Amino acid sequence: MISFEEAGRRVLDGITPVSESAEVAVTEALGRVLAHSILAPFAVPNHDNSAMDGYGVRFQDLAHEEKTTLTVVADLPAGSRLSTPLGQGEAVRIMTGAPIPEGCDCVVMQEEVERQGNLVTIPPGQKSRAHIRPAGEDLAQGSVVLERGRRLGPADLGLLASLGLTTVPLFRRLRVALLSTGNEVIVPGDPLAPGQVYDSNRTALRGALTALGVEVIDLGLVGDDRRELAARLDEGSDADALITTGGVSVGDHDLVKEILAESGAIHFWKVAMKPGKPQAYGRLGRAHFFGLPGNPVSGLVVYLTLVKPALLKLMGAIVEPPRRCRLPFRGHLRKKHGRLDFTRGRVLFAGEEAWVESTGPQGSGILSSLSRANALIILPEGPVELNDGDTVTIQWIDYD
């Protein structure tokens, strides 16, 4: 049995990111990974512009101690510009976003001035460069806007559009094959006989993989039959990754591990974590193989903590540390076992306070405990007792 940290390291070390890339429409790029860094083709904003509705003036024309009256020579709504420089004693009416005319170096808010006909009177106390957004304040021309390996979010797509870009270079989408195993497992819709369970793993994992933005190859459900299992696994062996559930512990019918050992390679299969001790990590054909435990909670916890970071690396994404922080615990909790524990928890917020509670009974088949959870409470190896007000480490549950 290896430690959780060691398992995480080995999984990541064994992954070489995909390298194929293609230009994709920015509108199709949400959640995808940049294959090259994007540089600003021009400064953003590309000209000094007004941050306020008001009057553009020459600072040197303004008296320090008293009011100054200037002549309004032009009206500049956003989108229009003055091609001649501002002369001595002149002002322009200017709207937010309009380019600052040459010679203008101060914008006075319209609320501060008095306007009469084509004259505007400016109170003393103005500041040079006031209310002017300088060109390049957002991005300098040629600067790195988004780094290679960045997974694109909505603001990133907006940023790319603000640069006038319509396509971006992205790593290709991963193909991930998914297979459920077990004689007792049946598909939802069929009548349930005693001793049978519905296949929840494939639906849950399909959701997780969809949130990650990979292409899912659904290999369906197969019983604990060596020949059928081997054939189905073979179908998934040319995917980038192959995820199975069930058949990796030490029962008589746990064939997944055996077939992996014969036809591919097992790198490790026992991890000192709870839930999720039995797993099988290795290679089958060109696929990275993740044999998850059959228990629904175990499968998803292993997915979140070990498989998802691996898939992100495989996608070419910059691998970030897990989103963990320390929070006060409410309730009472005891564990005796020696493995690293991921208790399903719920972070609650009231006002500006946050704390975490357990979601209740933690059996690895109790899927409702994970459905209610938004975080995993990480309890160190060895016995732990938690009481109200103790501080714990949590990891936020996020599938995307």
Shorter beta-carbon distance to Mg ion: residue 149 or 182: 182
218 touches ligand AMP (CB under 6 A): no
Rounded Cα distance, 271 and 276, in Å = 7
295 touches ligand AMP (CB under 6 A): yes
* Residue 358 partner contact from Mg ion, ligand AMP, none using kind-dependent CB cut-offs of 5 to 8 Å: none
Shorter beta-carbon distance to Mg ion: residue 8 or 294: 294
**CA nearest neighbour of 290 among 275, 305, 323:** 305
Q: Minimum distance between the CB of residue 253 and Mg ion, rounded to whole angstroms? A: 6
- The residue sitting closest to ligand AMP, measured at its beta carbon, is 294
296 touches ligand AMP (CB under 6 A): yes
Shorter beta-carbon distance to ligand AMP: residue 8 or 247: 247
274 touches ligand AMP (CB under 6 A): no
Contacts (Cβ under 8 Å, ≥6 apart) of 124: 62, 63, 64, 65, 66, 67, 68
Q: Minimum distance between the CB of residue 250 and ligand AMP, rounded to whole angstroms? A: 9
Backbone φ and ψ of 292, nearest 5°: -90, 155
**CA nearest neighbour of 239 among 316, 314, 175:** 175
* Residue 249 partner contact from ligand AMP, Mg ion, none using kind-dependent CB cut-offs of 5 to 8 Å: ligand AMP
Residue 253 structure tokens: 């019918």
By CB under 6 A, the residues from 374 to 393 that bind ligand AMP are none
Residues 66/71/73/78 CA torsion (nearest 10 deg): 30
Q: Cα–Cα distances in Å, from 11 out to 120, 215, 282, 397?
A: 70, 21, 9, 20
Which residues contact Mg ion by CB under 5 A?
182, 246-247, 294
Instruction: Answer yes or no: are the C-beta atoms of 99 and 117 closer than 8 Å.
Output: no
185 touches ligand AMP (CB under 6 A): yes
Rounded Cα distance, 110 and 102, in Å = 20
Residues 82/84/85/86 CA torsion (nearest 10 deg): -70
Rounded Cα distance, 20 and 170, in Å = 9
Residue among 1, 197, 230, 384 that touches ligand AMP (CB under 6 A): 197
By CB under 6 A, the residues from 319 to 378 that bind ligand AMP are 365
Instruction: Answer yes or no: are the C-beta atoms of 264 and 282 closer than 8 Å.
Output: yes
201 touches ligand AMP (CB under 6 A): yes
Give the DSSP per-residue string, 139-186.
Answer: B-TT-EEE-TTPBP-HHHHHHHHHTT--EEEEEPPPEEEEEEE-TTEE
Strands 287-292 and 278-284: antiparallel
Shorter beta-carbon distance to ligand AMP: residue 99 or 247: 247
Shorter beta-carbon distance to ligand AMP: residue 118 or 196: 196
Rounded Cα distance, 243 and 266, in Å = 14
By CB under 6 A, the residues from 143 to 182 that bind ligand AMP are 180, 182
* Residue 201 partner contact from Mg ion, ligand AMP, none using kind-dependent CB cut-offs of 5 to 8 Å: ligand AMP
Q: Minimum distance between the CB of residue 198 and ligand AMP, rounded to whole angstroms? A: 7
99 touches ligand AMP (CB under 6 A): no
294 touches ligand AMP (CB under 6 A): yes
How many amino acids of this chain bind ligand AMP (CB under 6 A)?
Answer: 20
Shorter beta-carbon distance to ligand AMP: residue 236 or 293: 293
Rounded Cα distance, 244 and 264, in Å = 14
* Residue 199 partner contact from Mg ion, ligand AMP, none using kind-dependent CB cut-offs of 5 to 8 Å: ligand AMP
Rounded Cα distance, 117 and 98, in Å = 22
Shorter beta-carbon distance to ligand AMP: residue 68 or 295: 295
Instruction: Answer yes or no: are the C-beta atoms of 243 and 307 closer than 8 Å.
Output: yes
293 touches ligand AMP (CB under 6 A): yes
Residue among 85, 87, 188, 251 that touches ligand AMP (CB under 6 A): 251
184 touches ligand AMP (CB under 6 A): yes
The stretch among 31-39, 44-52, 83-91, 241-249 that binds ligand AMP (CB under 6 A) is 241-249
The contact set with ligand AMP (CB under 6 A) reads 180, 182, 184-185, 197, 199-202, 245-249, 251, 293-296, 365
